[in-house]
Amino acid sequence: MEYFSAPPDNSGRRVVYTERRGDVGYTYYDDGIVKITHYRRRRKVYWGRIAIAVVVLILLIMGLVQVIKIFTGGSKKDSSDSDKQFVFESSSAAEADTTVSTADEDVSKTSAASAESSEEEPNAKKMGFKVCIDPGHGDYDTGVLTGEGLTESSKNLEFAKLVQEQLEAEGVEVLMTRTEDVNVPITKRCSMANEAGCDFFVSLHRNGTSDPFDGSCGTEIFINNASPEMDKKLATNILDALDQVGITRSLGVSAGFSGKPESNYQINTDTLMPSCQLELGYLTSDDDNALYESMKQDYAIAVTEALVKTAKELGVIDENGGRLITEPLISEGKSHITVSLDGEVGMV
């Protein structure tokens, strides 16, 4: 509030005081009259912003001009090239014939080179065998669950995708039993591999213990308790490859079910091809988890190399990856398994 001492106005009233609130002024007289005056606010002109906007507009116009020049220049060049071609074609017939012949030769050479390249490329990137990669568990079936909230099913899927990527980079055809956090019945997983004619089946898991402080760690692989030679070779090659990369310890290749050698994991009984269940370290072991997180890409490469090696040793492919057998590989220890047209698995 602002106070003023002012003389009487023409009416003889004396101004007691005045004040201004925003754009409104109030004049108070000694006779109680209040005069209200509205003031117009002066608009501030932001010259700096206007200058920036003008510069940006100029730059946009210059850019648009350059784009137009590029397109119109290309059109002129095409027109010029057409004129030159017309003049060229109007020259002597002998010269034209010579040019056409040379061009035909160049085209033939280019086509031959392209055809040769297209023939070589698939061979260089194609391995003549198929693998089924099975990320264990899924959805409500989490498998091992740690106190920190880690689930075996999510880690299985993560590693399966890494293995898939490496196999496909080597030209191996891959069938995944699941690619999302869903639950697929084990019977369905086996029938998928059988019906697709896969040559190998690898189920990926992480081990676990109810007591995270008992020191359990290491990598183990399970095969059918009949210990088929093909299955044993597959599992041994994978475990050796992982051991070379670096694991806490190798628990070996075991036949049967964990703690129950007289039983089997279903994936090792209902699949026709050589199969194994890989337990890649304990999810409840800090040491195993640390190694997995730092070396999972190397582990995926190791599994891939082991599968390629096994396919060569079992005579599925030659050294160049070419397929040597006409039918899907069947483990001699599983010759008693039959698959019906609807995918049901039976025993002979």
35's enclosing H/E stretch is strand 34-38
What CA–CA distance (Å, rounded) separates 170 from 279? 24
User: Which distant-in-sequence residues (6+ apart) come within 8 Å of 27 by Cβ?
Assistant: 15, 18, 34, 35, 37
pLDDT at 114: 46
Listing DSSP states for 220-250 in one string gives EEEE-TT--HHHHHHHHHHHHHHHHH--S-E
pLDDT digits (tens, 9 = 90+) for 300-328: 999 999 999 999 999 999 999 999 999 99
DSSP letter, residue 41 = P
User: Which distant-in-sequence residues (6+ apart) come within 8 Å of 323 by Cβ?
Assistant: 128, 129, 316, 317
Q: What are phi and psi of 276, to 5 degrees?
A: -160, 160
Other beta carbons less than 10 A from residue 57's beta carbon:
10
DSSP letter, residue 268 = G
Length of the chain: 348
- For the stretch 12-43, what's the b/e string if a residue is b when 16 or more beta carbons lie within 10 angstroms of its beta carbon? eeebbebeeeeeeeebbbeeeeeeeeeeeeee
pLDDT values of the chain reduced to their tens digit, one per residue, 348 residues: 444 445 555 667 777 778 877 677 777 777 777 788 776 666 667 788 888 999 999 988 988 888 888 877 655 555 555 554 444 444 444 444 544 444 455 545 544 544 454 444 444 579 999 999 999 999 999 999 998 889 999 999 999 999 999 999 999 999 999 999 999 999 999 999 999 999 999 999 999 998 878 899 999 999 999 999 999 999 999 999 999 999 999 999 999 999 999 999 999 999 999 999 999 999 999 999 999 999 999 999 999 999 999 999 999 999 999 999 999 999 987 756 655 445 455 554
Residue 218 φ/ψ region, left for φ over 0, alpha for ψ in the -120 to 50 degree band, beta for the rest: left
Structure-token pair, residue 344: 């049901």
pLDDT digits (tens, 9 = 90+) for 131-141: 999 999 999 99
- For the stretch 129-159, what's the b/e string if a residue is b when 16 or more beta carbons lie within 10 angstroms of its beta carbon? bbbbbbbbbbeeebbbebeeebbbbbbbbeb
What CA–CA distance (Å, rounded) separates 242 from 202? 14
Under 8 Å between Cβ of 285 and 277: no
CATH class as words, domain 127-347: alpha beta
